Amino acid sequence: MSEERQRTLYGRRRGKKLRAGQEALLDTLLPRLLVSVPPEPQKIDPAALFGGACEIWLEVGFGAGEHLVWQAEQHPDVGLIGCEPYMNGVAKCLAHIERTGVGNVRLFTDDARLVMGALPDQSLSRAFVLFPDPWPKTRHHKRRFVQRDTLDILARLLKPGSELRLATDDPSYLPWMVEHACTHPAFMWLAERPADWRSRPDDWPPTRYEQKMLAGHKPVFLRFRRV
């Protein structure tokens, strides 16, 4: 197995006990939406996942799925792949999918690097990495998702002119994100003034996590173009 395909997750997979309805969604709806990683050297076929989708977007760590499902509702002609290993969040996302009836979302419930390693080159038109675990202790910085190797993979997957969106509320992760993404030759930061990254773009909806957990914190919203 290649380095890209190795599972490098840290942290828990489950939290408090799920309700019966949530467990039922994991048993019935999730299998219909799951993305499978084929054995190497095969690649995932996005057309087979979404049919006639005009674009494919990827969200890494979708939390409870509110942003993912909102984007699916607003862009019904786009296929969205959401990656989230925390099964309590997956169950909440499934509830949003069932409630809204969106049909253009597919889910991967393991390390996002696995599905990234199996996607074809230049298959994505947008990627989101929103509020990843900051791993604030210095000895844990190697666990941060935003690293040169993951940016290399995203650069391979994103089409020229497409967009990478990063967000964090952690003061130590912001300079890390900016340094790693801005020094990567494949990405150009789109901010021209502080308001461009301190203010939420119109097509970037707030989530319950942000409203509940970010009270007193100032999230930042970073947009980069694949050059």
DSSP string, 56-120: EEEEE--TTSHHHHHHHHH-TTEEEEEE---HHHHHHHHHHHHHHT--SEEEE-S-HHHHHHHSP
Single-letter amino acid, residue 8: T
Return the closest-CA partner of residue 11 out of 143, 104, 127, 125.
143
Residues with a known catalytic role: 133
40: Cβ contacts below 8 Å, ≥ 6 apart: 1, 2, 5
Biggest alpha carbon–alpha carbon distance for the chain: 49
Per-residue confidence of the chain (227 residues) as pLDDT tens digits? Answer: 344 445 555 555 666 788 898 999 999 999 999 999 999 999 999 999 998 899 999 999 999 999 999 999 999 999 999 999 999 999 999 999 999 999 999 999 999 999 999 999 999 999 999 999 999 999 999 999 999 999 999 999 999 999 999 999 898 999 999 999 999 999 999 999 988 888 888 898 877 767 665 556 788 999 999 99
Phi-psi domain of 101 (left: phi exceeds 0; alpha: psi -120 through 50; beta: other): left
